Structure 1
């Protein structure tokens, strides 16, 4: 594994002399612009592993993306190689169908300390809830980013991340009531404790997420990547391009269903993803919205 090879993958051509906030902001943004959040391996007959070397080869060398256990684990390696002080944390994702947090840590993030101040780095949540830059760990502070306003809350022990977005403006009226459209303006994303977690903590979770029929990731095939103006997503058979329009407090959403013959072309042209095995798209009812 080579840091310069990773930098080439994300298009980072700068030099870094010290682990400062400016460099972290740049690398974080380039990662989410270059590496998709995706779970396609599950729907291609492949297995998602927590082995860092395999994750590195998949994402950096083999033109793929990954889910949080891959993307954020890879990013923790980047942080370590660049000299940042970081702690890996586990998060309970909010389930909109159950209106409650999932009972186990299904999401992996990194807390980075710079000059004594902690920040949350998360390069793998996807779609409209993807942060582009690290968040300051200050309870109650509105932190504006392209996708909306992110806010960390704290009750003394548990931290919760929420986001206030904009009104979705769907261009294709046939998709106005699509289950993929999140019409909530403010949404809860996940909660976490400041307990350091090793990779072993996520092994059972990783297995459950890609095998259980109750898992979001077995019920939906997901691929999303951030763009300079918003994000793209392929969920099941539905391809979407979203443009953030903060001036009018809207997100402009272009959606269409795609034919099987288009799947590989869209993945290559829109996400720079090249699959070895055939993808079987799926979009069953599950708590995942754009």
Structure 2
């Protein structure tokens, strides 16, 4: 990513270029990203190809002002951070599902980020409902965040880990939110291309929850969250109060995509697979 591309990305998320790659700047960039770039799986249901290459990710997130899911959002954000002088590793994770079962390999992409102060953080702008700020990577105690109380738990090869999700590899970490394990993180650095099989599976498999539902969600400026799932608009305030509204027409849906998420669509996406568990 060159300097002009980085500037365009910063403009996209409403952030200024930090003079140095500090921890404070990382926190600000992380929160700006979550507010500006929605977590969404619309490409799957619009028949759009998902390509894990830096240029294609920038074309989508910055040029087309779209969002994406973990591979796209953290892939693009990691490239921005590297361009700003941070040391960035792409890490693979397996997401905890029903009854504590772990998902497929390369189920999720997260970022390990080192700053000029030699602090190391777990940054993740691509997991939907998650921490608003990066988590201290080496901290094993509780970490309070507007998104919940988080812990990063070390698991060994003979331990099931926080969620009992099965054998772990040496060095694996469980990321836990409000007492519930979210994903098991590997610590080996990966490349963006390593995640292509995971992105393909989540984009095509009838067993993937992404092919069976529509989601578009982002953090609001007051610390709440707004989510559009199909024709249902859900708003959660920072104090936890929730409202739900059914949108009656496609025109209303397109207006919400445009006005609340900044996404211009010519048609409403339709769910690709309505029976993901069949």
TM-score, normalization by structure 2: 0.87
8 Å Cα contact 1:139/1:154 also seen in 2: no
The offset of 1:94, in angstroms, is: 0.7
> Does 1:244 find its partner at 2:247?
no
8 A contact 1:237–1:283 mirrored in 2: no
- Of 254-263 and 210-219, more deviation after overlay is shown by 254-263
What is the deviation of 1:142?
A: 1.2
* Residue 256 to residue 284, structure 1, CA distance change in 2 (3 Å): farther
The Cα of 1:197 is off from its aligned counterpart by 0.8
Q: 1:62 to 1:276 in 2, by over 3 A?
A: farther
Give the corresponding residue for 1:160. Answer: 174
- CA deviation digits over 1:102-145, x for unaligned, max 9? 1312110110122333210101111xx32221100234321111
Q: Greater relative contact order: 1 or 2 (C-alpha under 8 angstroms, separation 6 or more)?
A: 1
TM-fit CA distance, 1:276 = 4.3
Aligned pair 1:198/2:191, yes or no?
yes
| Larger proportion of strand | 1
Runs of 4+, deviation exceeding 3 Å: 281-287
**SS in structure 2 at match of 1:217:** coil
Q: Deviations over 1:45-95 (max 9, x none)?
A: 211111211110111121211111111000111111001111110010111
Query: 2:211, 2:276 within 8 Å by CA — same for their partners in 1?
Result: no
On the 8 A contact 2:33/2:125 being kept in 1, the answer is yes
If the length of structure 1 is used for normalisation, what is the TM-score?
0.83
Of residues 81, 84, 90 in structure 2, which corresponds to 1:82? 84
CA distance in 2, matches of 1:60, 1:148: 29
**Are the structure 2 counterparts of residues 240 and 282 from structure 1 closer, same or farther at C-alpha, using a change threshold of 3 Å?**
farther
Measure the CA separation in 2 of the matches of 1:139 and 1:77. 25
For the pair 1:217 / 2:237, whether they are aligned, the reply is no
Corresponding residue to 2:226 among 228, 232, 243 = 232
Matched, 1:8 2:11: yes
Q: CA deviation at 1:229?
A: 2.8
Distance 1:23 1:131 in 2: 16
Q: Distance in 1 between matches of 2:214 and 2:51?
A: 17
Residue in 1 aligned with 2:108? Answer: 107
Question: Is contact 1:92-1:102 (8 Å) kept?
Answer: yes
Q: What are structure 1's unaligned runs of at least 5 residues?
A: 165-185, 246-250
Task: Give the alignment partner of residue 264 of structure 1, picking from 254, 258, 277.
Answer: 254
Q: How far off is 1:158 after superposition?
A: 1.5
The question of whether the paired residues in 1 share the 8 Å contact of 2:44 and 2:272 is answered with no
